[in-house]
Amino acid sequence: MHKYGKFAILMAIIVGSLLWLATAGIQSSQTYYKTISELQQMGNGAQNRHVRVGGDVQGKSIVHEGALVKFNLVQDKQILRVAYEGRDPLPDTFRDGAQALADGRLGPDGVFHASEIQAKCASKYAPKPGMAPDALQPKTGAPNAGTVTRSSL
């Protein structure tokens, strides 16, 4: 059994150190997915967590102040003020009405300080299955464009 002991020890060392790597400092690698209302309910606990929050960019709320960009995110009528001072320029898809994801922390002043913004136009990529391809509507001019449905054979 001696040689199997050696194998067992080596494997234990490898698996052990991997487990240690996986768990040590995992806290700083975690991003919590929250809705705006959940974020606001978290209270002070929210401030020391890295959070990803999503919503629509409120129309005409984008303000550029030098490198700083301020805007409001809206989701289910809840509004979150966001300040972005990240290094990278904002994506082209980021504009009024776009769906956006903001990564960052909630400040004590209730403003969400984002370090990263992702945005996508609502209709890009594939439309939601079972629904009408919305993006077709403005361009198609098909009769009763609002009632375009896909019918299966």
Partner 1 sequence: MENLGALALLLAFCISVYAIVASVAGRLKNKPFLTLSGERAVLAVWLLVTTASGLLVYSLLTGDFRMAYVATHTNRAMPLFYKFAAWWGGQEGSLLFWSWILSTYGAVVVLTNRNRQRAMMPWVLAVLSSIQLFFLTLNNFVVSPFQVLAVDKVITSVPDGQGLNPLLQYWAMVIHPPMLYLGYVGFAVPFAFAMAALISKAPGDSWIHTTRRWTLVTWLFQSTGVSLGSAWAYHVLGWGGYWMWDPVENASLLPWLAGTAFLHSVMMQEKKGMMKVWNMVLISTTFFLCIYGTFLTRSGIISSVHAFAESPIGKYFVSFLAIGIAATVWLILNRLDYLKSEAELESVVSRESSFLFNNLILLASCFAVLWGTMFPVISEKFTSEKISLDAVWFNRLMVPIGLFLLFLTGVGPLFAWRRTSIDSLRKNFQWPGIGMLIVVAALYAGGMRYAYSIISLGLCFFVAATIILEFFRGARAIGEKSGVGLLPAMVELTHRNTRRYGGYLVHMGIVLMFVGWSGHPFNQTTVGEVNKGGTMQVGSYTLKVEDLTQGETPDYIWDTAILQVSKNGKAIGTMEPTRRFYKSSQQATAEVALRSRLNEDLYINYATRDGDKATLQSYVFPLVSWIWIGVVTLIGGTLIALIPSKVARSYPRTEVVGFARKNAPVQA
Identity of the residue, 18 or 109, whose beta carbon is nearer to partner 1 in the bound complex: 18
Alpha-carbon distance of 122 to 103, in angstroms, equals 19
Binding site for partner 1 (CB under 8 A): 3-4, 6-7, 10-11, 14-15, 17-18, 21-22, 25-26, 28-33, 52, 87-89, 92-93, 118, 120-121, 124-130, 133, 135-136, 139-144, 147-153
Q: Which residues pair with 98 in a beta bridge?
A: none
In the complex, what is the shortest distance from the CB of residue 5 to partner 1, in angstroms, rounded to a whole number? 10
In the complex, what is the shortest distance from the CB of residue 85 to partner 1, in angstroms, rounded to a whole number? 13
- Encode 72-115 in three state secondary structure: EEEECCEEEEEEECCCCCCCCCCCCCCEEEEEEEECCCCCEEEE
In the complex, what is the shortest distance from the CB of residue 33 to partner 1, in angstroms, rounded to a whole number? 4
Identity of the residue, 78 or 93, whose beta carbon is nearer to partner 1 in the bound complex: 93
In the complex, what is the shortest distance from the CB of residue 111 to partner 1, in angstroms, rounded to a whole number? 23
In the complex, what is the shortest distance from the CB of residue 97 to partner 1, in angstroms, rounded to a whole number? 12
Identity of the residue, 29 or 48, whose beta carbon is nearer to partner 1 in the bound complex: 29
DSSP-based three-state secondary structure for 121: coil
Q: How far apart are the first and last CA of the chain?
A: 66
Alpha-carbon distance of 72 to 147, in angstroms, equals 32
Alpha-carbon distance of 142 to 93, in angstroms, equals 27
Identity of the residue, 109 or 149, whose beta carbon is nearer to partner 1 in the bound complex: 149
Nearest to 122 by CA among 83, 85, 89, 95: 95
Identity of the residue, 86 or 109, whose beta carbon is nearer to partner 1 in the bound complex: 86
